[in-house]
Chains A and B, each alone.
Chain A
Amino acid sequence: DAGVIQSPRHEVTEMGQEVTLRCKPISGHNSLFWYRQTMMRGLELLIYFNNNVPIDDSGMPEDRFSAKMPNASFSTLKIQPSEPRDSAVYFCASQRLAVNQPQHFGDGTRLSIL
C-alpha cells in the first residue's frame, strides 16, 4: 500500500520566494496533519484537517504560512514570502478518523531558504 507521499523531497530557494509543499494522504484516511521539525524545537504541529476542514491552525507561525486541502487526496502548505528561519523539514501525516488510530507520516520535505 502506498504511504503518505510528499513532494518535493528537497527544496532550496532564496529568501522572499514562494514555496509550495505538497502532500497526498493514504487513501481512506480523512485526517491530515502538517508538522515542522527542527533541531531546536523538535516536531511541532502546524495545522490539521478533518474531512478537508481545518480544525486547529494554532501552530501556524504567522500569516506567511497557509494550508489548503481542496479534496480528500491532496493538500498544500504554502510559505509566501519565505525567510531563512523557515528552513526545516516539513512532514505531512494522515490518519483514519476513528478511535485510537495512529498517524502515519510521509518522508518529509527538507526546505532550505538562503
Chain B
Amino acid sequence: EDQVTQSPEALRLQEGESSSLNCSYTVSGLRGLFWYRQDPGKGPEFLFTLYSAGEEKEKERLKATLTKKESFLHITAPKPEDSATYLCALTQGGSEKLVFGKGMKLTVNP
C-alpha cells in the first residue's frame, strides 16, 4: 500500500486557470510534508515544507496547505513556465528518509 498518493497523475490547464493538486498520506507520526518541482532532465527542486495541520506556505503563484490526512498545492493563475512534475514527499519518526509520491505532471498551455 502506497504511503503517499498524488492525484491527479497529470493535469492540463490553460494559462490563468487556477487549480489544486492533492497529496494524501497514510503514515502516522508525520514529521514533515515536502513539495518539490521537477523539470525534465533535472533533479527535484525544493518548494515547501509543512509540519502541522493548518499550516500554509506561499511562493509566487503557489500555496501549499496541510491537514491531518492530505496536503494541497494550489496554483493560482498559472503560467506556461509552471509546467513541471510536482512531487510530494514526507518524513516520519526519527528518520531523514523521504518517501515520495509518484508525482503529478502539470502542463500549462499558453
Contacts and interface: CB of A to CB of B under 8 A. Distances in A.
A104 B38 CA distance: 12
A50 B45 CA distance: 21
B46 A107 contact: no
A69 B100 CA distance: 24
Interface in A94-114: 95, 97, 100, 102-108
In the A-B complex, the 6 residue pairs with the closest CB atoms? A105-B43, A43-B100, A102-B46, A42-B102, A107-B43, A105-B44
Interface string B90-106: 00000111111111000
Nearest to A50: B96
A107 B100 contact: no
Interface string B45-81: 1100101000000000000000000000000000000
Contacts of A97: 96
Interface string A28-64: 0001010100000011110010100001100000000
A105 B97 contact: no
B45 A105 contact: yes
A95 B98 CA distance: 12
B108 to A, nearest CB: 22
A42 B100 contact: yes
B45 A100 contact: no
B102 A102 contact: no
Which secondary structure dominates chain A's binding surface? strand
Nearest to B31: A100
10 contacts: A4-B43, A43-B103, A44-B100, A45-B97, A95-B96, A97-B96, A102-B46, A105-B43, A106-B43, A107-B41
Contacts of A4: 43
B43 A31 contact: no
A89 to B, nearest CB: 9
Of B44, B45, B87, B100, most A-chain CB atoms within 10 Å: B44
Contacts of B87: 43
Interface string B23-43: 000000000101010000111
A69 B47 CA distance: 28
A31 to B, nearest CB: 6
